[in-house]
């Protein structure tokens, strides 16, 4: 697997973890489900927020993350993304 595939897979795993928790999840749960280091998770969450795939909310018990419509799209279109990226060699050079 290439770095790009890993990234697509990791993003998919994070979004799937949020979806399985009824669309709202705490960062500690994502950390557990995605099997990433704390630093890596922060980087991915920042990237997903920037790309508009997830939304951050602050509650009394801390931060939570939920899926945006674009995040749901990503999950629905994941097969297309991976197949298209592989078929046309769009993995990170």
Partner 1 sequence: MVHTFFSPEWFLAYEMVLHFVFALITIIVSFYAFKVYNLVRQPQPKLFGIAFGLFSVSYISQFFLEFLTITQIRVIPIPILQAAIERFFDVLGIYVHIVLFTMGLITLTYMTLRERSIKTYSLLVLIALISLFFASNKIQLFYILSSFLLLYVLIHYARNYINHKQPNTLRGLIAFSLLFVGSVSVIFSFQNEVLYVMGHVIEGIAYLVILTNLILAVKK
Interacting residues with partner 1 (CB under 8 A): 2, 4, 8, 11, 51, 70, 73-74, 77, 79-81, 83-93
Q: Which among 5, 18, 6, 2 has a CA at the least distance from the CA of 71? A: 18
Shortest CB 84 distance to partner 1, Å: 5
The residues, ordered by sequence, that sit 6+ positions from 85 with a Cβ below 8 Å of its Cβ are 4, 5, 8, 91
- Residue 60 or 79 having the CB closest to partner 1: 79
The tokens describing 60, both together, are 């009394």
The tokens describing 35, both together, are 């099997």
Shortest CB 88 distance to partner 1, Å: 6
- Residue 38 or 90 having the CB closest to partner 1: 90
């Amino acid at each position: 697997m290439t770095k790009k595939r890993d990234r697509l897979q990791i993003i998919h795993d994070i979004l799937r973890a949020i979806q399985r928790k009824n669309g709202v999840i705490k960062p500690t749960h994502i950390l557990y489900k995605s099997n990433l280091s704390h630093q890596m998770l922060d980087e991915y969450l920042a990237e997903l927020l920037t790309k508009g795939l997830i939304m951050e909310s602050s509650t009394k018990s801390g931060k939570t993350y939920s899926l945006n419509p674009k995040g749901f799209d990503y999950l629905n279109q994941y097969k297309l993304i991976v197949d298209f990226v592989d078929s046309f060699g769009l993995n990170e050079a």
